[in-house]
Structure 1
Amino acid sequence: MTVRHVGWLGLAVGLLVGCSEPPYALPDRSTAAVQAEEERLAALLPGELLDGPGTCKVRLLGREGSSSYAWARCEGTPEPGLTSGVSLPVRVDGDLVTQPLDGIAHADSVRRMFPERLAEAVLDDPDRMQP
């Protein structure tokens, strides 16, 4: 490899590193406002996402205006002896809960529900988003 090639390689690597965005910054869960919103969502979501009584753990992913974006992991007992659960990203506008579609429509629905950077973070690194 010549000095000229090394120079071009260094420039290319520098451009790639310089242009990449940092990971999506999640809200600080130690703040009272984030804790209060996660508690509100945890109380609201079982009735919206489960068939019967249950509980949800929630990770607030962000807020914009009156919209809250979160990941919910819920477990319930729709009937004695039967347990069910869901783990998914949700958008909550007041008390209106929107969840993504399944299957092939999942990614497009997430992109419609969330701001662009958050949607890509949810799709690219869902494990980091979960409660």
Structure 2
Amino acid sequence: MSIYVVRPFEGREPGMSPTLKWGLGALVGLPLMCCGCGGMWFRGQFPHEEALARVVNHRQVVQTLGAPVSGSFFFSGKTQARGEAAVAEMEIALSGSKQDGVLQVKAVQTSKVWGFSRLRVMARDGKMVDVVGGF
């Protein structure tokens, strides 16, 4: 019968293990990355939430995609901001009980208020619903 003594830190320099370093890096880095992007969103730099609020209960959108309609938290597009003015173009994935679609957004922000020049839903089957002016 042999007895082995395990010394986990023998031969290593004192300090944190690589696993612990990666774990701490993720715990610190991930919130910083999210707050960097999310902070802009919460300051009103993106019209994402307001655009979805206008679309998810729109009668024609609900008929086309099927109730309930929900939008993705993530989006693609671009935004440019200067002071309190901003311009945004984005696409947000939508899903409904019948089919999925994409919300196309063009918006301009002045005095911290977003105005939409385009809120258009393109359904997977090719049907288009123009929401601007029909809320």
Structure 1 length-normalised TM:
0.37
Higher percent of residues as helix: 1
Structure 2 length-normalised TM:
0.36
Q: Give the greater-gyration-radius structure (CA).
A: 2
Higher percent of residues as strand: 2
